[in-house]
Structure 1
Amino acid sequence: MIYLKKAMTLLAFIFIGIFMIGSFPSITSACSCAYLSSVEEEFERSKAVFSGKVVDIKERLSLKGYTTKSVLFEVMNT
Protein backbone atom coordinates (compact mmCIF):
# COMPACT_ATOMS: atom_id res chain seq x y z
CA MET A 1 0.00 0.00 0.00
CA ILE A 2 2.89 2.35 0.76
CA TYR A 3 4.41 1.64 -2.68
CA LEU A 4 1.11 2.47 -4.37
CA LYS A 5 0.90 5.78 -2.51
CA LYS A 6 4.50 6.66 -3.47
CA ALA A 7 3.88 5.67 -7.07
CA MET A 8 0.72 7.80 -7.25
CA THR A 9 2.58 10.77 -5.74
CA LEU A 10 5.41 10.36 -8.27
CA LEU A 11 2.95 10.12 -11.17
CA ALA A 12 1.17 13.25 -9.92
CA PHE A 13 4.47 15.19 -9.84
CA ILE A 14 5.37 13.96 -13.33
CA PHE A 15 1.94 14.95 -14.66
CA ILE A 16 2.13 18.40 -13.04
CA GLY A 17 5.66 18.87 -14.41
CA ILE A 18 4.65 17.97 -17.95
CA PHE A 19 1.60 20.22 -17.68
CA MET A 20 3.73 23.15 -16.48
CA ILE A 21 6.29 22.71 -19.26
CA GLY A 22 3.57 22.55 -21.91
CA SER A 23 1.65 25.51 -20.49
CA PHE A 24 4.46 28.02 -20.75
CA PRO A 25 6.12 27.71 -24.16
CA SER A 26 9.39 29.53 -24.60
CA ILE A 27 9.68 32.46 -26.97
CA THR A 28 11.83 31.67 -29.96
CA SER A 29 12.88 33.45 -33.09
CA ALA A 30 13.77 32.23 -36.52
CA CYS A 31 17.36 31.37 -37.33
CA SER A 32 19.63 33.91 -38.95
CA CYS A 33 19.50 32.00 -42.23
CA ALA A 34 15.82 32.95 -42.68
CA TYR A 35 16.48 36.46 -44.00
CA LEU A 36 16.07 37.10 -47.72
CA SER A 37 19.17 38.01 -49.66
CA SER A 38 19.15 40.46 -52.53
CA VAL A 39 19.18 39.19 -56.09
CA GLU A 40 22.72 40.47 -56.50
CA GLU A 41 23.94 38.56 -53.43
CA GLU A 42 22.31 35.35 -54.59
CA PHE A 43 23.77 35.78 -58.08
CA GLU A 44 27.28 36.14 -56.65
CA ARG A 45 26.89 33.03 -54.44
CA SER A 46 25.36 30.83 -57.15
CA LYS A 47 27.35 28.11 -58.89
CA ALA A 48 25.03 28.04 -61.92
CA VAL A 49 22.57 30.55 -63.34
CA PHE A 50 20.33 30.04 -66.36
CA SER A 51 17.32 31.55 -68.04
CA GLY A 52 14.61 29.59 -69.73
CA LYS A 53 11.00 28.56 -69.51
CA VAL A 54 9.07 25.81 -67.77
CA VAL A 55 8.06 23.08 -70.20
CA ASP A 56 6.38 20.57 -67.88
CA ILE A 57 5.47 20.10 -64.21
CA LYS A 58 4.72 16.64 -62.84
CA GLU A 59 3.25 16.03 -59.39
CA ARG A 60 3.74 12.71 -57.63
CA LEU A 61 2.48 11.40 -54.32
CA SER A 62 5.24 9.68 -52.35
CA LEU A 63 4.71 6.53 -50.30
CA LYS A 64 4.68 8.65 -47.13
CA GLY A 65 1.91 10.87 -48.48
CA TYR A 66 4.02 13.87 -49.49
CA THR A 67 3.44 15.61 -52.80
CA THR A 68 6.60 16.15 -54.83
CA LYS A 69 6.99 18.14 -58.03
CA SER A 70 9.39 17.62 -60.92
CA VAL A 71 9.92 20.59 -63.20
CA LEU A 72 11.34 20.35 -66.75
CA PHE A 73 12.99 23.53 -68.05
CA GLU A 74 13.91 24.57 -71.56
CA VAL A 75 17.19 26.44 -71.06
CA MET A 76 17.71 29.54 -73.22
CA ASN A 77 20.96 31.00 -71.79
CA THR A 78 23.56 29.80 -69.28
Structure 2
Amino acid sequence: MKLLFFSSAFCDPCIETRAVLKQVEQLVPAATIVELDVAAHNDEAERAGIRSTPTVVVLDSDDTEVFRAAGAPTVNQVLVALAKAV
Protein backbone atom coordinates (compact mmCIF):
# COMPACT_ATOMS: atom_id res chain seq x y z
CA MET A 1 0.00 0.00 0.00
CA LYS A 2 1.18 3.48 -0.85
CA LEU A 3 0.23 6.97 0.27
CA LEU A 4 0.84 9.86 -2.08
CA PHE A 5 1.06 13.12 -0.15
CA PHE A 6 0.70 16.13 -2.45
CA SER A 7 2.08 19.17 -0.65
CA SER A 8 3.31 22.71 -1.20
CA ALA A 9 6.12 24.61 0.50
CA PHE A 10 4.10 27.34 2.24
CA CYS A 11 1.10 25.29 3.33
CA ASP A 12 0.50 25.19 7.11
CA PRO A 13 -1.89 22.19 6.87
CA CYS A 14 0.88 20.37 4.95
CA ILE A 15 3.10 20.68 8.03
CA GLU A 16 0.34 19.07 10.12
CA THR A 17 -0.16 16.36 7.53
CA ARG A 18 3.57 15.59 7.42
CA ALA A 19 3.53 15.03 11.21
CA VAL A 20 0.44 12.78 10.97
CA LEU A 21 2.03 10.71 8.22
CA LYS A 22 5.21 10.26 10.28
CA GLN A 23 3.08 8.79 13.07
CA VAL A 24 1.29 6.53 10.59
CA GLU A 25 4.64 5.39 9.16
CA GLN A 26 5.70 4.29 12.66
CA LEU A 27 2.41 2.46 13.24
CA VAL A 28 2.24 0.81 9.80
CA PRO A 29 5.79 0.13 8.55
CA ALA A 30 4.40 -1.63 5.45
CA ALA A 31 2.93 1.64 4.20
CA THR A 32 5.07 3.56 1.72
CA ILE A 33 4.63 7.32 1.98
CA VAL A 34 5.70 9.45 -0.97
CA GLU A 35 5.59 13.24 -0.63
CA LEU A 36 5.25 15.14 -3.89
CA ASP A 37 5.58 18.92 -3.87
CA VAL A 38 3.09 20.14 -6.47
CA ALA A 39 5.51 22.82 -7.73
CA ALA A 40 8.22 20.24 -8.42
CA HIS A 41 5.82 17.49 -9.58
CA ASN A 42 3.24 19.56 -11.43
CA ASP A 43 2.65 17.00 -14.19
CA GLU A 44 1.96 14.20 -11.71
CA ALA A 45 -0.30 16.47 -9.64
CA GLU A 46 -2.29 17.38 -12.77
CA ARG A 47 -2.62 13.71 -13.80
CA ALA A 48 -3.90 12.91 -10.30
CA GLY A 49 -6.39 15.78 -10.42
CA ILE A 50 -4.95 17.56 -7.39
CA ARG A 51 -6.78 20.85 -6.76
CA SER A 52 -5.48 21.78 -3.30
CA THR A 53 -2.80 20.89 -0.80
CA PRO A 54 -2.50 18.90 1.27
CA THR A 55 -4.11 16.00 -0.53
CA VAL A 56 -3.45 12.40 0.47
CA VAL A 57 -4.18 9.61 -2.00
CA VAL A 58 -4.09 5.97 -0.84
CA LEU A 59 -3.26 3.31 -3.43
CA ASP A 60 -3.67 -0.43 -3.05
CA SER A 61 -1.07 -2.99 -4.14
CA ASP A 62 -2.23 -2.62 -7.77
CA ASP A 63 -1.74 1.18 -7.58
CA THR A 64 -5.50 1.66 -7.76
CA GLU A 65 -6.79 4.65 -5.83
CA VAL A 66 -8.94 3.54 -2.90
CA PHE A 67 -9.14 6.77 -0.92
CA ARG A 68 -8.51 10.49 -1.36
CA ALA A 69 -8.75 13.33 1.12
CA ALA A 70 -7.96 17.03 0.86
CA GLY A 71 -6.97 18.88 4.00
CA ALA A 72 -5.02 17.77 7.05
CA PRO A 73 -6.17 14.27 8.14
CA THR A 74 -6.00 12.73 11.58
CA VAL A 75 -3.98 9.60 12.30
CA ASN A 76 -7.22 7.62 12.66
CA GLN A 77 -8.52 8.82 9.30
CA VAL A 78 -5.31 7.71 7.58
CA LEU A 79 -5.37 4.33 9.33
CA VAL A 80 -8.96 3.74 8.18
CA ALA A 81 -7.97 4.71 4.64
CA LEU A 82 -5.05 2.30 4.73
CA ALA A 83 -7.38 -0.48 5.87
CA LYS A 84 -9.29 0.02 2.59
CA ALA A 85 -6.08 -0.66 0.68
CA VAL A 86 -5.50 -4.07 2.25
Same fold, TM-score > 0.5, yes or no:
no
Greater RCO, CA 8 A, separation 6+: 2
TM-score of the two chains, using structure 2 as the length reference: 0.21
TM-score of the two chains, using structure 1 as the length reference: 0.23
Larger radius of gyration: 1
